[in-house]
Structure 1
Amino acid sequence: MNKLILGRYFPGNSLLHHLDPRAKLVAGFYFIFVLFLANNWQTYVFLWFFTFLVMHLSDVGLRIYFRGLKPLIWLILFTVFLQILFTAGGEIYVEYGIITISQFGLINGYYIFCRFVMLIFISTVVTLTTKPIDLTDGINRLLSPLRYLKIPVDELSLMLSISLRFIPNLLDETQKVLDAQRARGTEFGGGNLVQQMKKLIPIFIPLFVSSLNRAEDMANAMEVRGYQSGKKRSSFRKLNWCMKDTIAILMMFLLTVCLAFLRTN
């Protein structure tokens, strides 16, 4: 459980660490759109090359990325498995009732696997190389035009930042509770469905209580520091958009051009 690194920050001095958080957020969301432009093996090979290049530029070991992928790999494989079993088209290899294993199903399963893994890797790069407070400022600045529509941008960005920040803490506490229950002789994964659900109750209750306590402590800390919702506040940190940030966005457009050239019409 504590192997999930999405939402954690790794201090470093890489090029990606020095990019403006707005550039990284825009590039990350744009990459999600770019993933759907790939429709053949050439485009996916090119996207894999780009993904590993970005991971290398973060100065974070590849082992850490793959270790963070392990907690999610079964969910990804389950999605791929459903895609393979229930997608028909092309040459049929196995057909039994509603279950069909076909050429298109295998190809689409591979595409979906690549999209999920690359999406997780790029999202992890953004969080590993960006401080949570910088993510808050970046989200706040990107959503600032919504203030004209009377949307509480400050509150939204704060909630997103707090949620992202406390994902690792919640996972760490879950692992501690699991270890404590195992030390008391509890065996997870055994028995029928009802028995397994009963074993989860001693896990959920401490996590729920600790989450409420943490939320109350944070609310008290914010109140002591004078935080008031809806009030205009100054910022100690200033975001500076530099030439390297513009180059990063231009590289994403170049990636789009290359994919458009490689994709099959």
Structure 2
Amino acid sequence: MISLYRPGTSPLHRAPAGLKLALLALLGVGFSLMPRQPIVLGLSLAAGGLVLVVAFFALAELAGRPLLRQLWSTRWIVVAMVGTQLIFLTPGDAAVNTVRVVAIVLLAGLLSLTTRSSDVLAALETGLGPLRRLGVDPRRVGLTLSLAITMVPVIAALAQRVREAQRARGVRLGFRAVVPLLVLALRHADDVADALSARGVD
């Protein structure tokens, strides 16, 4: 399994996992509800949100290479979103939506970099505790949400590994990179399943 957590003593590293999850949820909803029109306002708000995310990386003392790697890992998301949205939306709307999604992805990556997975899972289980009365298993739901939150940066790390391996072999990058990425993703899924089974999670 890939561990993206980077030990540190920054305020974000020391902040409770529950607080960071709540902040991620609030900012995610806030970015999603940002108006797109007028386009100048939409772009300004989206750019401001991205600047806020960069400030969080700086607060976590990860504003150097870690931030650049996270930004670089979102390039295919940018290409896919812009390419598909231009079919139905104006360039301005496509740009606003893409920047908002990139900001949310970066926030999820920052959470993974500054918070241990065990702490995220514990915080989710605590927050979902009241749902026990409705017959919901907070442990299973928390585990599912934790895996979902960390999956995007994990896949990005796998893609980076594939890219570096192909460059080392002198292989031209292209759509063929999808095959080894898919293999690594499935292998990672198997490792996660084995780890869960070893801990008695069916």
Taking structure 2 as the reference length, the TM-score comes to: 0.73
Identify the residue that residue 76 of structure 1 maps to in structure 2. Answer: 78
Deviation of the 1:82 alpha carbon? 2.7
Structure 1, unaligned runs of 5 or more: 88-104, 191-195, 230-265
2:34 to 28, 37, 40: 37
RMSD: 3.8
Deviation of the 1:210 alpha carbon? 7.2
Higher strand share goes to which structure? 1
Any idea what the Cα deviations from partners look like across 1:128-148, whole Å, max 9, x if unmatched?
A: 111111101111111112111
Provide the C-alpha distance between the structure 1 equivalents of 2:55 and 2:159, rounded to a whole number of angstroms.
Answer: 33
Name the SS of the counterpart of 2:9 in structure 1: coil
Higher helix share goes to which structure? 2
- How does 1:73-112 map onto structure 2 within 5 Å? 73-87=75-89, 105-112=90-97
1:24 maps to a residue whose letter is: K
Identify the residue that residue 126 of structure 2 maps to in structure 1. Answer: 141
Any idea what the Cα deviations from partners look like across 1:146-204, whole Å, max 9, x if unmatched?
A: 1111011112223444566687499559947x949x86x987748xxxxx59x938x73
Distance 1:211 1:174, change over 3 A: farther
Provide the C-alpha distance between the structure 1 equivalents of 2:103 and 2:156, rounded to a whole number of angstroms.
Answer: 24
Provide the C-alpha distance between the structure 2 equivalents of 1:208 and 1:43, rounded to a whole number of angstroms.
Answer: 37
Provide the C-alpha distance between the structure 2 equivalents of 1:34 and 1:65, rounded to a whole number of angstroms.
Answer: 22
Between 1 and 2, higher relative CO (CA 8 Å, sep ≥ 6) is seen in 1
Taking structure 1 as the reference length, the TM-score comes to: 0.58
2:21 maps to a residue whose letter is: L
Identify the residue that residue 55 of structure 1 maps to in structure 2. Answer: 57
Structure 2, unaligned runs of 5 or more: none
- How does 1:196-215 map onto structure 2 within 5 Å? 200=179, 204=183, 208=186, 211-212=189-190, 215=193
Distance 1:216 1:81, change over 3 A: closer
Any idea what the Cα deviations from partners look like across 1:207-245, whole Å, max 9, x if unmatched?
A: 75675466335523x25xxxx88xxxxxxxxxxxxxxxx
Deviation of the 1:24 alpha carbon? 0.6
1:219 to 192, 197, 200: 197
Distance 1:42 1:143, change over 3 A: same
Compare CA radii of gyration and give the structure with the larger one.
1
Any idea what the Cα deviations from partners look like across 1:31-51, whole Å, max 9, x if unmatched?
A: 111112244144334323322
2:93 maps to a residue whose letter is: N
Distance 1:112 1:136, change over 3 A: same
Deviation of the 1:79 alpha carbon? 1.4
Q: Structure 1 residues 159-168 or 132-141, which shifts more? A: 159-168
Provide the C-alpha distance between the structure 1 equivalents of 2:86 and 2:104, rounded to a whole number of angstroms.
Answer: 20
Provide the C-alpha distance between the structure 2 equivalents of 1:217 and 1:135, rounded to a whole number of angstroms.
Answer: 17
Any idea what the Cα deviations from partners look like across 1:93-128, whole Å, max 9, x if unmatched?
A: xxxxxxxxxxxx121022012102211222222121
Any idea what the Cα deviations from partners look like across 1:40-91, whole Å, max 9, x if unmatched?
A: 144334323322221211111343222123233123222123323422xxxx
2:55 maps to a residue whose letter is: L
Q: Is the 8 A contact 2:34 2:46 kept in 1?
A: no
Identify the residue that residue 117 of structure 2 maps to in structure 1. Answer: 132
